Structure 1
Amino acid sequence: MHYKINLKERFENRKTKLAKEGYKTINEWTEIVLKNEYSLEDENFIINSKLTAINNKEITIALNRSYLVLIDKIRRLKISENRL
């Protein structure tokens, strides 16, 4: 799962590989891509919702977020913060 979370490292590895293959113009990494800001209130809502068995679709509607963004956030909470 480390592979899915450490996007910056993956980008740098891919950039190095492409440079070796002869590509000259490779866009730089921006931290904005990595960040998917959730307020502490939203994180607590996600945690409490998961503990009370509310499904992901209902959580996405309540937070007005896309489904895949929510799934990514839940994975990050489980792995990096051990909050779920």
Structure 2
Amino acid sequence: MTIPTTSLPLPLIALHRCTGCGLCAELCPTNAVEIIDQKAAIVRPADCTFCEVCESYCPEGAIGRPFQIVFASSEE
């Protein structure tokens, strides 16, 4: 079973924690994240590959998801 990526939740950005350092935008492999008005924003949600780079490297812990995504493979 393949889950379409459109059903996966985008990372959430806690604007009160974001300092606008730009690391997330710099490291995003698909350029889905940009800094707008000194805060991170997911500007191209369709391009987000859910790689978790922005979440992993945010020094303020301002980027996350409401729950963990676990991809499972089926063995036949």
TM-score range, shorter chain: under 0.3
Give the number of the structure with larger relative contact order, counting CA–CA contacts within 8 Å between residues 6 or more apart.
Answer: 2
Q: Which of the pair is proportionally richer in helix?
A: 1
Greater C-alpha Rg: 1
State the TM-score, normalizing by the size of structure 2.
0.25
